[in-house]
Structure 1
Amino acid sequence: MVAVFNKDVLSWYLITIKLKETVDATLCKSPPPDALPRWQALNRNLPQLTNGGEAGSEALLLEERERQGELQAQSPEHSPKPRDPEWVVTIRGKLAQACAEEAACPWSRLSVYRVPKSLRDGDERAYMPQVVSIGPLHHGRRRLREMERHKWRALHHVLKRTGHDVTAYLNALRPMEERVRACYDGHAAGMQGNDLIECLVLDGTFVLELFRGALDGGKGFVDVLRYSRHDPIFAMRGAMHAIRNDMILLENQIPLFVLDLLLGLQRNNPVRTGFVATLALRFFDPLMPTDAPLLRKDRSRLESSVDPEAEAAFDPLSGPMLHCLDVFRRSLLRTGLQPTPPPPSRHWLRKWSGLRCVADKRRQQFVHCVSELREAGIRCRRRNTDRLWDIKFDNGVLQIPRILIQDGTKSLFLNLIAFEQCHMDIATPGGNNITSYAIFMDNLINSTDDVKYLHDRGIIEHWLGSDAEVADLFNRLCQEVVFDINDSYLSGLSDQVNRYYDYKWSTWIASLNHNYFSNPWAIVSVIAGVFLLLLTMAQTFYGAYSYYRPMN
């Protein structure tokens, strides 16, 4: 009797444990509705379990396990799914990252770009800073670290002069962190927030000190900013030329709104903007490749506009500006550049060419070179204007403004062209004006003879070693540039030049002038030859006349 009682207790104990495990597992797996009646049947069979002893309980438990296996086999949501291979999981992760980047859409705010590899292969040095890094793209490079201590000196001078604490500048720029990151292509996205803010404050303060000190021929460093006359950087010595060339590079820029804020904080007026563009225009004035970078009246207005008490800053530019390179580009194209529309007969060509705009040298041919134009009777003459782009053609005369070429001119044009190639807001019809000008000059210059002719006419003034270097400079500017001449402001002018070139009568006249009227002795010989020809014709006439009508 005791043994039977112990068996009943043991059966209850085993059934209770198994029911608890089954209920817990079922609650976790959320069984389908068709499994619920089985639990009701199980509850109804509990008396049978108590009366059936150990053998009945084991049989019922075995049946329940089989039933649960059948239910899981019949239910598709409980069947285990096959796992994707590891490389498929990697692909799914990359797709998710691409989707996130597409949703963020940061390209609309990009302004400081990495120069594309296709352009960089031509001349790597022209796009890389040699002395100083500005902004995060080249921050921390080993060969540029020497200038870092001078940046810290500049920040120290600003804080001492203004009486501010550095936290005022750090806290003012921190809310702009995401906006600044969206302006940069590449490395800035990987910098920590504190590092990026420190870089902006340090480099931005250094740039503003250079801008303000360069006024009045560099006297501002000593008289206004209180630097030593023997300062190795802030005394307008030889290093300033290399620093200025580095600060105009596309990858070495700081957004203009950051510089405006820093200058406003220094002047205790962070809301007022517009001074930095004026300062930058004055600072980069020596790099202007035009004959008269700034008119005298404009320069006087520039000097007065940097006064914080001035009513309005002089601004020859229009529209929002992105950074110093953008300011420099707009200053080259100031006073309302109006592209010349192509003639109606070329509308179909314009539409067709827009579908296949490729980097093809044949599609970059505006006009023939100077030597060929001269053979067709087209002459070149210097146009007295400081507007670099203002090229005219009238009655066989191509009028071109004077251009000054120095050591940094090649790097300057390469970065301007790269900016036009990268920035989508200006890489549209009418937005590739610097590229159009560079390609037009590349077409005109094919040899040293072309450079010599333009130099003799006062169109090209260069400080390079030889005319061959000038020809090589223009021939290498647009080697890998994507460009369509039909979207250029010079397309209409090129049509006029080519029509005049194709006119045969002008070619014959030019050939006659070149071969027979090139010098005084040739002119004398031509006149003598014509006189002898006339005498011979007269003698022949009178000889024949006397033969047919002899005198009586």
Structure 2
Amino acid sequence: MDPEIKVASDAEAPEKKVASAAKGLETESTCATKGPEIDRPLLFTTESPDCIFRASGLMRAGRESDFVPKSVSIGPYYHGRENLKRMEDIKVQCMSDLWKMRSVGGSNLDRVPVDRFMRFESKARRFYKEKFDLSDVKFIEMLVLDSFFVIRIMLHVSGYVDERMDLNIKEAVSDLLLLENQIPLFFIKEVWDWLNLCGDVILLFHLIGSTFRQLDLPWWIKSDTLPKKSDHLLHFYWKISEASTKKKIKEDHADPMQRMIKLLEKVRSGRSRGPSQKLIVNATELHQTAGISFKNVKIDHHNGDCVEFSKGIIWMPSLKIDSSQTTLLVNLVAFENSMFLFHRTISTYIKIMDDLIDSSKDVELLQKSGVVYNTLSSHTEAATFFNNIGNLCFIDYEDNPFSYLFENVNKYYKSCWNRHWANLRQNYFNSPWSVIAVLAGTTLLFLAGAQTYYTVFPKN
């Protein structure tokens, strides 16, 4: 039996035969010509050239594993990896399952319908920063199977299909959001349209949004913010996350080119600051010196900003810190590093967390406040993560979604009144017994003063 998946031709009937035994599936090891690292800002709109790229060497240093898929390869960068070949069999099964859902008679699709999608080959290749040793047919075959897999995962996670899949769903969804593990979203839409399963492409967007809503990151993804134009799945997730984290931009800053000109002027004048610059002190210092506290807020019960400051309280949705979440945050930062500084909303959020967390004491304080939930081996490990990734968050400190937060927190922290009141609470009202003692002392002082007054000025 031919070990390769057979390629269906449009000249043949739609119900072609794919090799029943996918175990012998031939997956070529892709040899990519290494392109230059991204060192220029990109304005992501839709179907952007070179929008699927590798993380820069600076981002990869010491965290290579954060960009490598653990269970499934999507796209050409990791296509043919030995440890990921098992998932190629499951992709073929996904194609078969979806075709049975599409076909009223339940007939099998036995060949990859490559010819139907060959017209998109040149357009799809332009999405990648690098060139690949894959023939046109093999390239489209890979994209078709990967699209089937993505659609099948979305249907399963969203509850449209109850049949179990023989894989770790959480790990697979995590792999779908890796920077270097992407295929063009337009291609997935083309496969979805061809399958004609459950409705138009709007349903596909809702399936993707429903899948990503189940990630435990501190921003609310609303159904009415689902973008209709995105380059790939990570870009889609970034756009729905960005929509719920950013403050509305002032009218005088609405023009991206004007903002870019102002940024270049700041760079030339030396007013731009690097990622090592701290804009607010750590959580422990804020709490002990100025009495600033931290409280958890439900992500669906606030006005859309994932960090807010009001009356001495920093309100934040809870952030779960585990290995999959830290991996996603790293990939989002690497993705934003290809954009203009004022687009980097996730990086700004990470920078806030980096400023708040200097040591395990800060993580412990934030966890007691319900702001973080750390499942890593120690609070020190969590602090180290934010300190390291925060150093890679290059942002514009004067023109960013949370500049108002930095300004208001610093103003409150530097207030003499707030510092004196915090000191009073820390030293004299830090326990019920201290309060009782202060009240008793105040009462005795009042009575002593009253006795002295009536002694000096007795009633006639």
Counterpart position of 1:192: 135
Is 1:409 aligned to 2:325, yes or no? yes
Q: 1:118 aligns with which of 31, 47, 58?
A: 58
Q: How far is 1:169 from its partner?
A: 3.3
Counterpart contact for 2:295–2:315, Cα < 8 Å: yes
Counterpart position of 1:34: none
Letter in 2 for 1:281: G
Larger Rg: 1
Q: How far is 1:168 from its partner?
A: 8.0
Q: How far is 1:207 from its partner?
A: 1.5
Structure with higher helix content: 1
Q: How far is 1:473 from its partner?
A: 2.9
Q: Distance in 2 between matches of 1:160 and 1:520?
A: 69
Query: Which structure 2 residues correspond to residues 406-485 of structure 1 after superposition, within 5 A?
Result: 406-422=322-338, 424=339, 427-429=340-342, 431-485=343-397
Counterpart position of 2:119: 175
Question: How many matched pairs?
Answer: 400
Q: How far is 1:439 from its partner?
A: 0.6
Which one is further off, 331-340 or 514-523?
Answer: 331-340
Change (3 A) 1:354 1:317: farther
Counterpart position of 2:187: 258
Counterpart contact for 1:277–1:324, Cα < 8 Å: no
Q: Distance in 2 between matches of 1:428 and 1:412?
A: 20
Q: How far is 1:290 from its partner?
A: 3.4
Query: Which structure 2 residues correspond to residues 3-42 of structure 1 after superposition, within 5 A?
Result: none
Counterpart contact for 2:321–2:373, Cα < 8 Å: yes
Query: Which structure 2 residues correspond to residues 115-514 of structure 1 after superposition, within 5 A?
Result: 115-159=55-99, 162=103, 169-188=113-132, 190-216=133-159, 220-222=161-163, 232-233=166-167, 239-267=168-196, 273-290=201-218, 315-318=224-227, 320-334=229-243, 337-339=246-248, 353-355=266-268, 360-363=274-277, 365-374=278-287, 375-386=289-300, 389-422=305-338, 424=339, 427-429=340-342, 431-514=343-426
Counterpart contact for 1:340–1:490, Cα < 8 Å: no
Q: Distance in 2 between matches of 1:187 and 1:513?
A: 63
> Does the residue aligned with 1:333 lie in a helix, a strand or coil?
helix
Q: Distance in 2 between matches of 1:478 and 1:516?
A: 37
Counterpart contact for 1:333–1:389, Cα < 8 Å: no
Q: How far is 1:393 from its partner?
A: 1.7
Change (3 A) 1:540 1:214: closer
> What is the Cα-based RMSD across aligned positions, in Å?
3.6
Q: Distance in 1 between matches of 2:81 and 2:243?
A: 36
Which protein has greater RCO, CA pairs closer than 8 Å, 6+ apart?
2
- The C-alpha deviation readout for 1:46-90, integer Å capped at 9, x for no partner, is xxxxxxxxxxxxxxxxxxxxxxxxxxxxxxxxxxxxxxxxxxxxx
Letter in 1 for 2:380: A
Q: Distance in 2 between matches of 1:176 and 1:525?
A: 79
> Does the residue aligned with 1:287 lie in a helix, a strand or coil?
coil
> Does the residue aligned with 2:294 lie in a helix, a strand or coil?
strand
- The C-alpha deviation readout for 1:378-410, integer Å capped at 9, x for no partner, is 222222333774322222222222223333110
Q: How far is 1:463 from its partner?
A: 3.1
Q: Distance in 2 between matches of 1:332 and 1:514?
A: 38
- Identity, in percent, stands at 27
Change (3 A) 1:398 1:108: same
Counterpart contact for 1:516–1:523, Cα < 8 Å: yes
Change (3 A) 1:349 1:519: farther
> Does the residue aligned with 1:393 lie in a helix, a strand or coil?
strand
Letter in 2 for 1:184: Y
Counterpart contact for 1:135–1:199, Cα < 8 Å: yes
Change (3 A) 1:444 1:335: closer
Counterpart contact for 1:339–1:488, Cα < 8 Å: no
- The C-alpha deviation readout for 1:70-116, integer Å capped at 9, x for no partner, is xxxxxxxxxxxxxxxxxxxxxxxxxxxx9xxxxxxx99522212111
Q: How far is 1:249 from its partner?
A: 0.5
Letter in 1 for 2:138: D
Counterpart position of 1:302: none
- The C-alpha deviation readout for 1:290-336, integer Å capped at 9, x for no partner, is 38x567xx5xxxxxxxxxxxxxxxx5324511111122222223458
Q: How far is 1:457 from its partner?
A: 2.1
Query: Which structure 2 residues correspond to residues 46-57 of structure 1 after superposition, within 5 A?
Result: none
> Does the residue aligned with 2:337 lie in a helix, a strand or coil?
helix
Letter in 2 for 1:119: M
Letter in 1 for 2:234: L
Counterpart contact for 1:131–1:147, Cα < 8 Å: yes
Q: How far is 1:200 from its partner?
A: 0.7
Q: How far is 1:285 from its partner?
A: 2.9
Change (3 A) 1:154 1:413: same
Letter in 2 for 1:458: G
Letter in 2 for 1:264: D
Gaps of 5+ in 2: 1-35, 37-43, 254-258
Q: How far is 1:122 from its partner?
A: 3.5
Q: Distance in 1 between matches of 2:438 and 2:263?
A: 48
Q: How far is 1:253 from its partner?
A: 0.9
Letter in 2 for 1:287: L
Counterpart position of 2:4: none
Letter in 2 for 1:498: N
- The C-alpha deviation readout for 1:353-382, integer Å capped at 9, x for no partner, is 34458783443x231111111111222222
Counterpart contact for 1:436–1:488, Cα < 8 Å: yes
- The C-alpha deviation readout for 1:409-441, integer Å capped at 9, x for no partner, is 10011111111112x3xx342x11111111111
Counterpart contact for 1:317–1:334, Cα < 8 Å: no
Letter in 1 for 2:385: L
Change (3 A) 1:157 1:525: closer
